[in-house]
A and B are shown apart, each in its own frame.
Chain A
C-alpha cells in the first residue's frame, strides 16, 4: 500500500511540543478539516498551539484531514485517526476542536469524526466520548453544524480557549457530567452551546430561537482580545516537513479593518482594529525567522498599509532581511507612494505580480459595496508600476453583487481595457509584453455583513454573466479571464446562511461521498445535488433567495459586537448608493465600542 506525501502523516517536525502523559489535565486534539499542507499554513493554529501548550493544564496536539488515499489505507488496516504529536487516537482526547475556516471544508469534519470513531451528533455521544467543539470565522454561524458540536467558541480564542479548557479540566476532575460542564462553560463570553437552544421554523422560515435551558444567554456575545500586545504570540513556529502552501514567518500586524466594505465578513466580525506595536512585531518576526530557519516573512492583516506603524516596521525589517537574505511578502497592500517604494525595494529586479481588488466594475457599484478605490487610483498605480518595471497585474472582482447591472459587468472589461491601453502607450506599443489577469468570484452573501439579507444570483444568472464577460474580454489582447464554478458558490451560500436544517444535508452529502469539496478534483456535485433535493432545498430556499430585513435571522443567537442596526443602516445606504467613510475619518457608530475599546474612530480627522 502506498500513499502520496506520506511525510504529512508522521509528525515529529522541528519545534513541535511534546508533553508526557500525566503532566496535563486535558488533551485537546486541534483538528483542521483539510490537508496538512493547507492547515499548516494557518496562522491561527500556530497562535493557539503556542498559547494552549504554555499552560500546565492543557496539551494541544494537531490533526489534519488525511487525503482520500490515506483515508482508505487507514480504513483498510483499521487505523483510527491519530494526533501528530503523540499518535494518540483522536477518540481518546478530552476535547476535539475543529476550526471552521471555510464552508467547503464541512464534510471533512465528518470524515475526520468517522475516521476517529466519534459519533457525529452530540446527542449520540456518551460521557466517554470527547467533547467536540468548534471555532473560527464560520463559527459565527455554526447553525448548519450545530447538531455535531457540544459547544461553539465565537471570537478571539487566545483568552477564551485556555479558560474553556481549564474549566472543563476542573469539571472532569470533579466527575461532573458533560451537560453540567457545559452549563458552567456557557457562562464564558463567546461560548455557545447549541443543544441549549431549539430553532423554531414556520413554513420553512426561521422564526425564533427557543431556549431549552433557562440559564442559557439570550444572545452569545463574541469573545474579545482587547490588546494584542498583552497576548502571547508564537516565536517558535513548527516547521512543516512537507511543503506547505505558505511556509514563512508571520507577523500579525493587526486584527480588524476600518474600511467597512459591505460584502466583507472579516471587516465586520474582527472589529475593532487592534494593532500590535511595531517593535513587538519586529521582535516576533525576527525570533520566528531565527527559530524556524525560514527564508521568507509575511506581514499579515486585512489592509497592510493601514498599519499606523508601517514605516518604522518596514525600514527596520528591510535592513534585517537584506542582511539575512530573507524575502518579505506583503499581501493586502494599498498602492500609495510609500508602498511602491517598499515594493520596489524588496522585489528588486524580479517583479512578481501586482494585485488589485476593485471588486466591482463601476464607481456606482463600488459605492454600493463601499469599496473605496477609484479608477484613477488603479490607473495611477499602474502608471507607476509600469515605470518601475512590472509587467503583469491581477484584478479581483465579484459578480452578482446587489443592484448589479450589465453595465457594471461592462465596467470590468473597461478597466482591463484601460489598463492595457495605458501599459501599451507607456511602451510606445512596442516593447515588452503586459498581461492583465481578471478574476471574477461569484458573490456569496455572508452573515454579519450589511448584505446578509440579499439574494444570491442563480447559477443560470452567474453563467450568463460569465458568458457576457468572456465575450467582452476575449477581444482584448493580453487579458485573461478566470471565473469560479457557480454551483460551488451556490453551496457556499446555502452553508454560510443556513440553519440547523442543514446538518442532515451535510451528513447526507458526506454519506454520498462528498469530501474535500474545495478541491475541484474531489468535488462531487451529484452528491450535493441529491442531498439538497432530498431535503427540499432548492433555489427558493431562504439561503439563496434572501431574507426579509424585519425577521429574525438563524445566526441571530450570536452577537458579533457590531449592532444589527448598523448592519441594516449600511444595507439601506448601499441600496441608495451612499458611501460610509473609513472609521479613521469619523466614527460611524457600529456599536463595537459598547463592548471593547475602539482606538481608531476618527484618528485621521
Chain B
C-alpha cells in the first residue's frame, strides 16, 4: 500500500462543518474520485484515511493534514485533483505528497499548532499586553468534564508556547498563539481566549472571534518546532 499526505484549507461558511462530518465528506470524495483506497481488516472494514488533528467547529484552517493509503501508486497531483473534484466551496487540498507508509499516522507526531484569532475591541480600549496574563502562576481555562458534564478548571500554562496580541490596521485586535496540539494533550485556542478576555475584562464573545489554524508543528528533539510537512 502507498501513503499520501495532503494539506488542505477550510475557509468561509464550510468552517461550520464538524470534524465527523468532514471525515464523512472526505470518505465520499475518495469513493467519488474512484481512488483505490485501502480498507482495514475485520468485521467492519473501513477506509484507511486519517485527518491528522481534528479542528473545532467554527474554526478555519490554512493548513490541515489528511492521510490516505491506496492500493496502487498514484501521481500525487492527479490524486489531489480527483479528490478536489468532490469538495464544496471553501474546502480544498493544495498540496499532495507521497510519504513513507508507517504503522502510525502523523497524528502521533504533532506537538503544537499555530492559531490566529481576530476579535473586536472598542477603539478607545487599551490594547492588552499578553505579558501580565502569561506572568500568572497558573493559567486556568474552564472546560466540561467528559464524564460528569460539570465545568472544571484546568491549568494550561505549560501548553502555551507563545502568545502575542497586536492590533490590526482595521482596528480589530488579533492574537497569535502557539498551543499544545498533541494526541494526548491539546489546548483549544477559544478556551484560552476566554480566559484572556476574563483576565483583561474584555467584553467579547469568543463565539464571535474568527479563529484560524495556520499550521500544525512537530517538535525536534532539540525543542525546535517545524511545520509537519517538513517531517515526511
Chain A residues in the interface with B (C-beta under 8 A):
1-2, 5-7, 9-14, 239, 241-243, 289-295, 324-325, 349-350
Contact = CB atoms under 8 A, between A and B. Distances in A.
The 7 closest A-B pairs by CB, nearest first: A293-B28, A6-B16, A293-B31, A293-B32, A10-B13, A7-B17, A12-B88
Contacts of B20: 243
Nearest to B34: A290
A350 B88 contact: no
15 contacts: A2-B58, A9-B16, A10-B13, A11-B13, A12-B13, A12-B90, A241-B21, A241-B88, A242-B21, A243-B20, A290-B34, A291-B32, A349-B43, A350-B43, A350-B44
Given A1-B207, A291-B32, A241 B86 contact: no
A293 B28 CA distance: 4
B77 interface: no
A78 to B, nearest CB: 17
Contacts of A290: 32, 34
Contacts of B191: none
B198 interface: no
A275 B148 CA distance: 54
Interface of B: 13-14, 16-18, 20-21, 24-25, 27-32, 34, 39, 43-45, 57-58, 86-90, 205, 207-208
A239 B90 contact: no
Given A1-B205, A239-B25, A293-B27, A7 B87 contact: no
A349 B34 CA distance: 27
Given A1-B205, A293-B32, A350-B44, A14 B88 contact: yes
Nearest to A348: B43
Given A7-B16, A14-B32, A293-B30, 17 more contacts: A2-B58, A6-B57, A9-B16, A10-B14, A13-B88, A14-B25, A14-B86, A14-B87, A14-B88, A241-B17, A241-B21, A242-B21, A290-B32, A293-B27, A293-B86, A295-B27, A295-B31
B133 to A, nearest CB: 25
Given A239-B28, A293-B32, A294-B28, A7 B18 contact: yes
Given A12-B90, A13-B88, A7 B28 contact: no
Contacts of A325: 39, 45
Nearest to A294: B28
Nearest to B17: A7
A6 B17 CA distance: 7
A37 to B, nearest CB: 11
A243 B21 contact: yes
Contacts of B29: 293
Contacts of A289: 31
A292 B89 contact: no
B50 to A, nearest CB: 18
Contacts of B208: 1
Contacts of B43: 349-350
Contacts of A350: 43-44
B196 to A, nearest CB: 19
A11 B25 CA distance: 14
Nearest to B32: A293
A7 B88 contact: no
Contacts of B86: 14, 293
A5 B20 CA distance: 12
A1 B206 CA distance: 9
Contacts of B14: 10, 12
A418 B165 CA distance: 72
Contact of B32 (A1, A5, A12, A292): A292
Contacts of B90: 12
A572 B97 CA distance: 74
Contacts of B88: 12-14, 241
Nearest to B88: A12
B25 A241 contact: yes
A283 B16 CA distance: 35
Contacts of A11: 13
Most B CB contacts (10 A, CB to CB) among A9, A241, A243, A294 go to: A241
Contacts of B21: 7, 241-243
A11 B88 CA distance: 9
A35 to B, nearest CB: 15
Nearest to A87: B13
B60 to A, nearest CB: 13
Given A7-B21, A13-B88, A242-B18, A292 B28 contact: yes
A350 to B, nearest CB: 6
A293 B49 CA distance: 15
Contacts of B87: 14
Contacts of B31: 289, 293-295, 324
Nearest to B37: A325
B227 to A, nearest CB: 28
The interface centre, meaning the residue of A9, A295, A324, A350 with most chain B CB atoms within 10 A of its CB, is A295
Contacts of A292: 28, 32
Contacts of B18: 5, 7, 242
Residue among A6, A239, A293 with most chain B CB within 10 A = A293
Given A13-B88, A293-B30, A295-B31, A2 B17 contact: no
